Amino acid sequence: MDDETFWDAIEGCRRVTRDPDERLEWLRGRLAGRPETEILRFQASLDRVVAPTLTWDLWGAADRIMGWCSDDSFFYFRLWLVGLGRDGFDRVTRDPDSLADVPGVRRLVGRSSQVWDDEEWLEWEELDYVAVRAYEHVTGRTADDFYAAVESLGDDPEPMDPAGERWDARDDEESHRRLPRLSALFPLSPAS
């Protein structure tokens, strides 16, 4: 599966519904109708597509919006970016401050993360498991078999460390310099 086919699948699930769980179900069904190699290549494409989002600027943007961002939550945030579709994903990857234009982000403005509903969090962890679930269903093999097969494809694009200069989104001056629009939308709380 090449990146074009991958993005066609992502755009297809976006056209069907806005609900992340329903999107996953649609993707699982589509993958389950494909040959085993295509299921593996979907995961390889996801890994390849998401790799360039491992940057300090995107991490800072996620941290600024959500008020904190662990390693895991940043990975789930990066998967959520894929759910924006190719155009939104590309725009945000090039300019993290453009997240200020994303409706899902704008709905969070002025609201404490403590009152966000589960579906409002900018995370889509389950996207990372959609191919393995389809693989298990189609082949009857285990998740360990799936990950070994994906690894055997020899395509591990994830860098070890985020790209760019490390900085702290809680440094208000630095955050306003790097992410002026997001910093204005998501001011630091007095406790930060």
Give the integer Cα–Cα distance in Å for 94 and 73: 20
**Structural domain boundaries of the chain?**
3-157
Residue percentage of the chain with pLDDT more than 70: 97
pTM over 0.85: yes
At residue 189, the pLDDT reads: 76
Q: 2-56, pLDDT tens digit by residue?
A: 889 999 999 999 999 989 999 999 999 999 999 999 999 999 999 999 999 999 9
pLDDT single digits (tens) 141-172: 999 999 999 999 887 777 789 999 999 999 99
Q: Is the dihedral of CA 109, 75, 87, 132 positive or negative?
A: negative
**pLDDT for res 1:** 80
Helix (H), strand (E) at residue 107: none
Whether the CB-CB separation of 13 and 119 falls below 8 Å is answered with no
pLDDT of residue 155: 74
